[in-house]
Structure 1
Amino acid sequence: MSYSGYKSLLVRTQDRIAWVTIDNPPVNTVDATLAGDLKAFAGQVAADEDIAVIVLQSANPEFFSAHADFEWSFDPSTLMALADPEADPALNPLQQLNERLRTLPQVTIAKLRGHARAGGAELAMTADMRFAAADHTWLSQPESLMGIFPGAGGTQYLNRLVGRARALEIVLGAEPLDTSTAERYGWINRALPDAHLDAFVDALARRIAALPRGVAAAAKEALDAAEASGPVPHLPEEAAAHAKVYPSPDDVVHRLRVLMDHGGQTRNGELRLERLLESIPWAHHS
């Protein structure tokens, strides 16, 4: 099967493994282009029995994926236009996309370098496993600084990985976690020296891909059954709660416009996004 024609993904396949590289300059924003490519790839690979393992990585060592496109805050209809007619209509389009990725039959591994924020962190959490370059990777959910909260599955995925108390710290504290903290919390499987990350993930992917056909899929099925609440049942509740804060009120939209004017979704602005957001006063605080 050929995996070509994507605008923001580079896909290489070998030995039952698909290496999927996000390449959506300047900061790998989850925008309509990337979302469309991810959906198309997921639809294609789900039916490909010759692929056993998917490795999701970034072409940009500074950004795994910055976050979802801020433009969707200015015109929510552009996000809703991405709704998947084949998916649960109770979910928003990004939840629908992330669930397509999370429920792929293959074993999925996210290889993280740089910033994985908000929608980018949620994208990483769709993978079965996450490995990160130690001291070169930061994960965060800074949506509260934007007047919203993680609404692409993030609250449900985080709760399962790190527990409620730590999830609240991440969501409301809005601070980037370094790899040692993320590893201790369970947000990532482990942090590895940057120079060793590629070799480790490749070796793991090859070991899994070399298993007899059906073993990995059956193991995933059994492990999923061990989760007390089953396969992420509360996404509609997350969607309903998120509808209380998005589409955003005018003062929040104005704040994001100021952010864009001061470097939002550019490399320099995104490297200090949390501090940049905090420098813009809330209208009701002034």
Structure 2
Amino acid sequence: MAYDDYRLIRITVDHGICRATLDNPPINLLDVPLLTEIGRLVREIAADEQVRVLVVDSADPEIFIAHADVGLILDLPADDLGLHEELSLFHATTELVATLPKPTIAVIEGVCRGGGCEFAMAFDMRYAALGATVLGHPEVAVGIIPGGGGTQRLPRLISRGRTLETILGGMDVDAATAEAWGYVDRALPPERLRRFVDRLAKRIASHSPMAIAAAKRAVDIALDPGVDMTTGLRIEDQLFRETLAQPVARQLLQAVIDSGAQTREFELGNR
């Protein structure tokens, strides 16, 4: 699939990895045009059998996404106070990312606040640059609350108390603290960050697409508050058997045995 006519995202696809670099100067504002392109990209990736992993980063080494477009927020009607049945554009876009059946990785370097954080939280995995990345939620300081999923996704990542500290305090969270809290999965020195993500993405992309999708679905089932442990185990068992039914899985398993697996020498040699 050709990823053409994108103005705000640079896209390359190679060996199953789609690398999407956000490029919306001067501050990578998360505005309607960028949200629209992100939504289009995720839909195209979902339909592209050649893509197995999505990696998103920024063309600006100092800013991942500054925040959501304040003008867009001010354009919302002040008298619309009811509960909506449909998701907002922002929520719908982040849900597209969160529910993509293919693994997603956000590479966060530099400033990432407000809507930028909410966008990043929709990814399966997040990696940040030590000494460079700052995450923050300044919304309460200007009289509103996070409106792009921050109040819903952040507690699931870092706990209620830390979420309230972050949102109510409005203070930036550095990369090392974000890693300790679970806001990001790893914080790495800038010179190691992209090498690590590239290596991880290549490893994931080398695996069976069906196994990747099944593993992601099984993990998401575990986090569903409406699914108890017994049901989760039954679904895991079903997904396991579905992957095992694939000829490629049986071939790979037999190749492992043929290579000497399950011997002491093999197992200790792979430490």
- How far apart are 1:90 and its partner, in Å? 3.0
Q: 1:91 aligns with which of 87, 94, 107?
A: 87
> Is contact 1:224–1:230 with CA below 8 Å preserved after alignment?
no
- How far apart are 1:74 and its partner, in Å? 2.8
- How far apart are 1:5 and its partner, in Å? 0.7
> Is contact 2:63–2:111 with CA below 8 Å preserved after alignment?
yes
Output the CA distance in 2 between the equivalents of 1:225 and 1:107.
15
Structure with larger Rg: 2
Output the CA distance in 1 between the equivalents of 2:140 and 2:26.
24
- Match of 2:142, as an amino acid? M
- Match of 1:4, as an amino acid? D
Partner secondary structure for residue 46 of structure 1: helix
Runs of 4+ in 1 over 4 A off after TM superposition: none
> Is contact 2:113–2:135 with CA below 8 Å preserved after alignment?
yes
> Structure 1 residues 198, 230: closer, same or farther in 2, change over 3 A?
farther
Higher relative contact order (Cα pairs below 8 Å, separated by 6+ residues): 1
* Superimposed CA distance per residue, residues 120-140 of structure 1 (whole angstroms, 9 cap, x where no aligned partner): 011111110000111110001
- Partner in structure 2 of residue 105 of structure 1: 101
Matched, 1:31 2:27: no
Q: Matched residue pairs, number?
A: 222
- Match of 2:141, as an amino acid? L
> Is contact 2:101–2:217 with CA below 8 Å preserved after alignment?
no
Q: 2:158 aligns with which of 157, 162, 178?
A: 162
- Partner in structure 1 of residue 64 of structure 2: 64
- Partner in structure 1 of residue 118 of structure 2: 122
- Match of 1:37, as an amino acid? E
| Alpha-carbon RMSD | 1.6
- State TM-score, norm by structure 1: 0.75
> Is contact 2:136–2:166 with CA below 8 Å preserved after alignment?
yes
Partner secondary structure for residue 12 of structure 1: strand
Output the CA distance in 2 between the equivalents of 1:156 and 1:197.
28
- Match of 1:147, as an amino acid? G
* Superimposed CA distance per residue, residues 53-112 of structure 1 (whole angstroms, 9 cap, x where no aligned partner): 0001000011100111011233226xx9xxxxxxx9432221111101111111000001
- Equivalent runs, 1:120-269 vs 2, <5 Å: 120-229=116-225
For structure 2, the residue ranges without an aligned partner over 5 or more in a row are 228-271
Output the CA distance in 1 between the equivalents of 2:145 and 2:225.
22
- Match of 2:104, as an amino acid? T
- How far apart are 1:156 and its partner, in Å? 1.1
Identical pairs, percent: 43
Output the CA distance in 2 between the equivalents of 1:116 and 1:149.
17
Partner secondary structure for residue 106 of structure 2: strand
